[in-house]
């Protein structure tokens, strides 16, 4: 099937022919005719890189009445980057539709410019939820004539706490409209909200939902958590032509890893929420032009990055949701290219690796972190290839006499050694006596099944460096999900840029982590808070200090809780901690290291003896046990 056979008009066909498009992708073959011919809602599931923007953009622009200036389509997406990418693509598809106007509205940019564009008339608006609501409240964006609502990456919008925002926006749209939901992943939470937002939708799923890209190999390296950054460096060094994305869990970690890579001489940079739009555009422009070889990003920040030539995706930390891993790995191995998805894992993540293998339906290949000799050999050959392929400048000719005179005392072999050493000594010096970072892959098999309820995290208020652990009297009993907690933190602190760490949802209560600098904001914000009519209590989690006491036989309540008390003498057991190693290609054996998690630290599981006191204080709260808050 070709694009000319699926019902698109000549103006659109001419635009996509200019782009070199001939054959629609599977999701486009299914979605475009449906949207053109039907008026019912649609859920379309496809992996990233399969052309979802064209799948909804092409039929929508064809069905828009460009003679009417009213906004007829609203496309909602989670990030500025994705908003700009969608807008650019749709403008390209509509370049021969002269009367059609598309406007991007997103935070971090001048709102007055966006208002002027809306005032001049825009039939299609692409926006992020926060800025869309701002414009609605200012009465500058009117959605009463909307005929199409597109929710792109709806799963990520919910994960970012935008559920209430989506409710607000959709309430402004007419009841009679066509809602199109396009996404790479479809967790249960998104399936539940489709019942509220959509009416008898048709579902298109062009491949098995959790099937990984076929042109991607999946590798993993097993190291101690404290050696994660060292392993990342070696992976980059053994792949001198790397052009990829390193995924981190938090913005803080993203910034730390990118800063270390740049300090150590790598061609790297980061995108995260603290960048202005201008800074973000500058970084992405350099990456698209391959002036940057390594981009460090969170999942949220990377939404909207659409590059087909990536050679590697590196998981510096595994995501909580296995489907997100599939989504990450699908960013490489596109457009007929081969790609490699790499996991830098530690021993406690073995069970997680097993579950990813099961979801992929293919084996994760264990690789050894390369040693110094292997890396130096590969880098030396890369240097020689670079020298051979270097164009000789005509300007060199006039300097040859003095060059020959300076080098006349060296024979050919000595000259080669001197020349190569000038460029290569730093690698030889850095990897001299480099230790073996590999640990046994079987080591994690037992620890993955055992005690691993928690991994050496300090549960005394400050649970990880820079984070504070809070108690809240919401849990599974109240149908509370992680995204609900994220939304509450955003709402009551009035700050969507807070770094949120680990979230533990228990039966009648939960724990969540927020950067320690926001302790006061969280406590004051939640001072008089409610959720679905249920009064909330939020406190800093401070388990009883029973250091040095030997634990006796656990009580029944502790058995039910399952958290327990444990000691951790191993180092670096928690994910995402700083390796403490930086500097400009210093020896891996040198420098003062900061082995976080080392020493004789005590750690508490999810229901420790101290924290169980919270349960006894709130288990009889009748309003809490009877009110079933609805998401």
Cα-Cα-Cα-Cα dihedral of 372, 373, 374, 377, to 10°? 120
Does pLDDT of 373 surpass 70?
Answer: yes
d(CA 246, CA 293): 11
**CA 258 to chain CA centroid, nearest Å:** 15
Residues 225 and 338 in one domain: yes
Judge whether 130 lies within some domain.
yes
Judge whether 383 lies within some domain.
yes
pLDDT digits (tens, 9 = 90+) for 411-461: 888 888 888 787 777 777 788 778 889 987 654 443 333 333 333 333 334
Higher-scoring residue by pLDDT: 249, 571: 249
d(CA 503, CA 324): 17
* Range list of β-strands (E), 473-600: 500-505, 510-515, 530-531, 534-535, 538-540, 565-568
Percent of the chain with pLDDT over 90: 31
pLDDT digits (tens, 9 = 90+) for 285-296: 899 889 999 999
Number of domains in the chain: 4
Residues 506 and 581 in one domain: yes
d(CA 279, CA 246): 19
Q: What is the mean pLDDT of residues 529-552?
A: 69
Residue 203 — left, alpha, or beta (φ > 0 → left; ψ -120 to 50 → alpha)? Answer: beta
Q: What is the pLDDT of residue 96?
A: 93
Judge whether 30 lies within some domain.
yes
Helix (H) or strand (E) holding 268, with range, is strand 268-271
Greatest mean pLDDT among 152-156, 210-214, 512-516 lies in 512-516
pLDDT digits (tens, 9 = 90+) for 454-501: 333 333 344 445 788 999 999 988 888 887 888 888 888 877 667 788
d(CA 153, CA 128): 11
d(CA 482, CA 480): 7
d(CA 470, CA 464): 12
Structural domain boundaries enclosing 423: 376-430
Q: What is the pLDDT of residue 361?
A: 82
Last residue of a domain, one of 175, 205, 235: 205
Residues 383 and 353 in one domain: no
Q: Shortest CA distance to 56 belongs to which of 84, 75, 39, 37? A: 75
CATH code, domain carrying 475: 3.30.70.330
| pTM reported for the whole predicted model | 0.51
Residues 339 and 356 in one domain: yes
- Find tokens 């200019």 and name the residue: 18
Q: What is the pLDDT of residue 322?
A: 76
Q: What is the pLDDT of residue 123?
A: 96
Q: What is the pLDDT of residue 191?
A: 76
Long-range interactions of 401-405: CB distance < 8 A, separation 24+: none
Residue 235 — left, alpha, or beta (φ > 0 → left; ψ -120 to 50 → alpha)? Answer: alpha
Least confident of 37-41, 183-187, 343-347: 183-187
Residues 244 and 352 in one domain: yes
For 87-103, b/e burial (b = at least 16 CB within 10 A) is bebbbebbeebeebbbb
Residues 515 and 565 in one domain: yes
Does pLDDT of 345 surpass 70?
Answer: yes
Judge whether 442 lies within some domain.
no
Q: Shortest CA distance to 82 belongs to which of 258, 330, 299? A: 299
Helix (H, G, I), strand (E, B) or coil at 453: coil
> Which band of pLDDT confidence, cut at 50, 70 and 90, is reported for residue 189?
low
> Which band of pLDDT confidence, cut at 50, 70 and 90, is reported for residue 316?
very high
Q: What is the mean pLDDT of residues 206-223?
A: 73
Maximum Cα interatomic distance, the chain, rounded to a whole number of Å: 94
> Which band of pLDDT confidence, cut at 50, 70 and 90, is reported for residue 355?
confident
> Which band of pLDDT confidence, cut at 50, 70 and 90, is reported for residue 9?
very high
Q: Give the number of other CB atoms < 10 A from CB of residue 382.
A: 13
d(CA 284, CA 277): 10
**CA 362 to chain CA centroid, nearest Å:** 23
- Find tokens 């000595």 and name the residue: 414
Residues 245 and 342 in one domain: yes
Q: What is the pLDDT of residue 323?
A: 73
Q: Shortest CA distance to 248 belongs to which of 301, 321, 303? A: 301
Residues 235 and 183 in one domain: no
d(CA 38, CA 72): 17
Six-digit token pair at 549?
Answer: 């006491």
Q: What is the pLDDT of residue 561?
A: 37
Does pLDDT of 140 surpass 50?
Answer: yes
> Which band of pLDDT confidence, cut at 50, 70 and 90, is reported for residue 210?
very low
Q: What is the mean pLDDT of residues 361-367?
A: 89
Residues in the chain: 631
Strands 538-540 and 467-472: antiparallel
Does pLDDT of 138 surpass 90?
Answer: yes
Judge whether 425 lies within some domain.
yes
What are the start-end ranges of the H helices in 264-303?
277-288, 299-302
Q: Is the Cβ–Cβ distance between 460 and 471 less than 8 Å? A: no
Q: Shortest CA distance to 258 belongs to which of 218, 298, 311, 290? A: 298
Q: What is the pLDDT of residue 51?
A: 79
CATH code, domain carrying 337: 3.40.50.300
Q: What is the mean pLDDT of residues 145-157?
A: 88
Spell out the residues 6+ positions from residue 371 whose beta carbon is closer than 8 angstroms to its own: 431, 434, 436
Last residue of a domain, one of 161, 184, 205: 205
Q: What is the pLDDT of residue 274?
A: 75
Percent of the chain with pLDDT over 70: 78
Q: What is the pLDDT of residue 538?
A: 94
pLDDT digits (tens, 9 = 90+) for 107-127: 878 999 999 999 999 999 999
Residues 411 and 339 in one domain: no
Residues 286 and 325 in one domain: yes
Judge whether 546 lies within some domain.
yes
Residues 335 and 469 in one domain: no
Q: Phi/psi at 295 (nearest 5 deg)?
A: -115, 125
What are the start-end ranges of the H helices in 21-159?
26-37, 52-63, 80-93, 111-119, 129-137, 154-159
For residue 616, give Cα distances in angstroms to 102, 334, 508: 56, 54, 10
Higher-scoring residue by pLDDT: 117, 600: 117
Residues 274 and 402 in one domain: no
Q: What is the pLDDT of residue 136?
A: 95
Judge whether 175 lies within some domain.
yes
Judge whether 12 lies within some domain.
yes
253, β-bridge pairs: none
Does pLDDT of 606 surpass 50?
Answer: no
What are the start-end ranges of the H helices in 330-410?
350-360, 372-389, 400-407
Last residue of a domain, one of 184, 205, 226: 205
Does pLDDT of 60 surpass 90?
Answer: yes
Q: What is the mean pLDDT of residues 350-365?
A: 86
> Which band of pLDDT confidence, cut at 50, 70 and 90, is reported for residue 610?
very low
Helix (H) or strand (E) holding 590, with range, is none
CA-atom Rg of the chain in angstroms:
27
Q: Is the Cβ–Cβ distance between 313 and 329 less than 8 Å? A: yes
Spell out the residues 6+ positions from residue 311 whose beta carbon is closer than 8 angstroms to its own: 239, 241, 242, 243, 244, 332, 337, 339, 340
């Amino acid at each position: 099937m070709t694009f000319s056979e699926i019902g698109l008009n000549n103006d659109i066909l001419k635009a996509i022919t200019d782009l070199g498009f001939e054959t629609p992708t599977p999701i486009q073959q299914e979605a475009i005719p449906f949207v053109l011919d039907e008026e019912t809602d649609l859920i379309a599931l496809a992996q990233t890189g399969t052309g979802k923007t064209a799948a909804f953009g092409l039929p929508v622009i064809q069905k828009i009445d460009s003679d009417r200036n009213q906004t007829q389509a609203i496309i909602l997406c989670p990030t500025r980057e994705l908003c700009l990418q969608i807008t650019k693509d749709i403008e390209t598809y509509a370049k021969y539709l002269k009367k059609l106007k598309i406007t991007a509205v997103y935070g971090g940019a001048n709102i007055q410019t966006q208002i002027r564009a809306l005032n001049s008339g825009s039939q299609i608006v692409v926006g992020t939820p926060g800025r869309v609501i701002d414009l609605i409240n200012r009465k500058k964006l009117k959605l009463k004539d909307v005929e199409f609502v597109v929710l792109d990456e709806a799963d990520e919008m919910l994960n970012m706490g935008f559920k209430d925002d989506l409710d607000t926006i959709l309430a402004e749209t007419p009841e009679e409209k066509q809602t199109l939901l396009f996404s790479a992943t479809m967790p249960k939470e998104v399936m539940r909200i489709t019942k509220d937002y959509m009416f008898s939708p048709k579902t298109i799923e062009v491949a098995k939902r959790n099937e990984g890209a076929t042109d991607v190999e999946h590798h993993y390296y097993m190291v101690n958590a404290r050696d994660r950054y060292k392993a990342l460096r070696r992976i980059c060094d053994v792949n001198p032509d790397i052009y990829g994305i390193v995924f981190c869990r938090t913005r803080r970690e993203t910034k730390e890893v990118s800063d270390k890579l740049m300090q150590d001489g790598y061609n790297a940079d980061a995108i995260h929420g603290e960048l202005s739009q201008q800074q973000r555009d500058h970084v992405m422009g350099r990456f698209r032009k391959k002036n940057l070889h390594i981009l460090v990003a969170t999942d949220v920040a990377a939404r909207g990055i659409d590059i087909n030539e990536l050679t590697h995706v590196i998981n510096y930390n595994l995501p909580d949701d296995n489907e997100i891993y599939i989504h990450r790995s699908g960013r490489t191995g596109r457009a007929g290219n081969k790609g490699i998805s790499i996991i830098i894992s530690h021993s406690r993540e073995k069970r997680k690796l097993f579950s990813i293998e099961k979801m992929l339906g293919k084996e994760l290949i264990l690789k050894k972190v390369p040693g110094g000799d292997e890396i130096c050999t590969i880098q030396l050959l890369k240097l020689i290839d670079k020298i051979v392929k270097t164009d000789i400048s005509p300007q060199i000719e006039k300097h040859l006499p003095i060059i020959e005179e300076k080098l006349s005392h060296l024979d050919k072999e000595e000259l080669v050694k001197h020349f190569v050493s000038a460029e290569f000594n730093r690698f030889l010096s850095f990897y001299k006596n480099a230790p073996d970072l590999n640990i046994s892959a079987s080591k994690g098999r037992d620890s993955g099944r055992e005690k691993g309820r928690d991994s050496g995290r300090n549960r005394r208020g400050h649970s990880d460096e820079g984070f504070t652990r809070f108690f809240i009297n919401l849990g599974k009993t109240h149908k509370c999900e992680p995204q609900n907690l994220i939304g509450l933190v955003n709402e009551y602190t009035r700050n969507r840029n807070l770094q949120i760490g680990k979230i533990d949802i228990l039966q009648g209560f939960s724990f969540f982590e927020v950067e320690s600098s926001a302790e006061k904001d969280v406590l004051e914000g939640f001072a008089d808070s409610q959720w679905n009519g249920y009064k909330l209590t939020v406190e800093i989690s401070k388990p009883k200090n029973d250091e040095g006491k030997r634990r006796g036989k656990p009580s029944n309540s502790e058995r039910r809780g399952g958290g327990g008390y444990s000691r951790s003498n191993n180092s670096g057991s928690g994910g995402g901690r700083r390796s403490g190693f930086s500097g400009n290609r210093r020896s891996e054996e040198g420098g003062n290291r900061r082995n976080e998690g080392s020493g004789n630290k005590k750690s508490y599981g999810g229901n420790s003896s101290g924290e169980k006191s919270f349960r006894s204080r709130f288990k009889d709260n009748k309003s809490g046990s009877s009110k079933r808050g609805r998401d």
